[in-house]
Amino acid sequence: MEQTSPEVVDDVEKSLEGRMLSTINQQLEKAGGVPIVAEILNLTDRMTNRGILENLEEEDSELADEIRRLMFVFDDLMKLDNKAIQSLLKEVDNSQWALALKGASEEIREKILSNLSQRASEMLREEMEFLGSVRVSDVEAMQSQIVDVVRRLEDSGEIAVSAGNSSEQFIA
């Protein structure tokens, strides 16, 4: 297998992809459905998630959307209200935030930083700059740890994660 033609590699890739999709579909029926798949995908890295969901999107877009709705990833911090963010800030050290926010969108950075005092926000920005270049795998691992904290806080009832239902109304 030292030298293989690109056509053979493509054939093997397509075959494996087909088997993977049929395996996923069988697991959906046997293992409890979409919630289990979302849980499994929450445990994998972002590139794997994206690849699986993109392939699934081509086969069954409704199923892919249903799985996405049940998943919570670091980018979903935008769904948390300020009170939940502040609870999360109490549970996660600044050094952890600095690493996790290195790979985050500007929106998420601002959401986190705006929930800190001006002094704490400046200190976190400085810590992020001080880190310099970091490995993507380290950033993703830290983001996963923070997502785990979100899940723990949600399980204990300390915070509520919005499932995107912005039409929900509350009475104070």
pLDDT tens by residue, the chain, 172 residues: 567 778 877 887 888 787 777 766 665 555 567 888 887 887 777 678 778 888 888 999 888 878 877 777 788 899 899 999 999 999 999 999 999 999 899 999 999 999 999 999 999 999 999 998 999 999 989 998 998 898 788 878 888 876 444 445 556 5
Say whether pTM exceeds 0.75: no
CA nearest to 48, candidates 137, 147, 171, 165: 137
Of 70, 95, 114, the domain-final residue? 70
Domains held by the chain: number: 2
Contact call for residues 139 and 85 (beta carbons, < 8 A): no
Q: Is 172 contained in some domain?
A: no
* Domain-located, residue 171: no
Looking at the fold, whether 134 and 78 belong to one and the same domain comes out as yes
| Same domain assignment for residues 103 and 147 | yes
Question: Does residue 146 share a domain with residue 94?
Answer: yes
> For residue 91, what are the contacts with CB-CB under 8 A and spacing of at least 6?
149, 153
In-domain check, residue 12? yes
Query: Do residues 98 and 143 share a domain?
Result: yes
Which residues span the domain enclosing 88?
A: 74-155
Give the separation between CA 105 and CA 114, rounded to whole angstroms.
14
Residues 82 and 49 in one domain: no
Single residue among 15, 36, 70 that ends a domain in this structure: 70
Q: Distance (Å, rounded) from C-alpha 69 to C-alpha 17? A: 23
- Together in a domain, 78 and 43: no
CB-count exposure of residue 71 (10 Å: 0-12, 13-18, 19+):
middle
Do 78 and 41 lie in one domain? The reply is no
CATH number of the domain bearing residue 79: 1.10.220.30
Question: Do residues 69 and 163 touch, judged by C-beta distance below 8 A?
Answer: yes
